[in-house]
Amino acid sequence: MSAQYMHVGIPVTNLRQGMTYNEDMKLWMSNPDDYDYKIEYLKFEEGTPFPEIMHKNPHVAYKVDDAGPYIAEAQQLIFGPVEIGPGVRIAFIIKDDTIFELYEEK
């Protein structure tokens, strides 16, 4: 298993400058590369497929070679895995009482 740190996702209640809207996921998001600390701000809208726990709690994102083993070790799978582009899928898990995003690119 191989994991590379990507960003910290922080839910917010107000839009921040530079956020873009993702119609499919019904959420506003910032680009983590715009911040030295690799922060992804997220504002969830009504109808988002993401579970309520993510609307109020931060997550840590990792790029992984294969999400399967991480999902198998998780306390809980809370979202996904879903394909977000050709050869790219994401999943959100809880492990050690922490929300992790698994970003898998084939």
Enter the DSSP assignment of 50.
Answer: S
pLDDT digits (tens, 9 = 90+) for 55-89: 999 999 999 999 999 999 999 999 999 998 899 99
3-state secondary structure string, 20-66? EEECCCCEEECCHHHCCCCEEEEEECCCCCCCHHHHHCCEEEEEECC
Note if the pTM is more than 0.85: yes
Contact 53, 78 (CB under 8 A): yes
- Of 69, 93, 63, 66, which Cα lies nearest the Cα of 80? 93
- Domain interval for residue 22: 3-105
Residue 43 and residue 71 in contact, taking contact as beta carbons nearer than 8 Å: no
Number of domains in the chain: 1
CATH of the domain at 60: 3.10.180.10
| 46-64 tens-digit pLDDT | 999 999 999 999 999 999 9
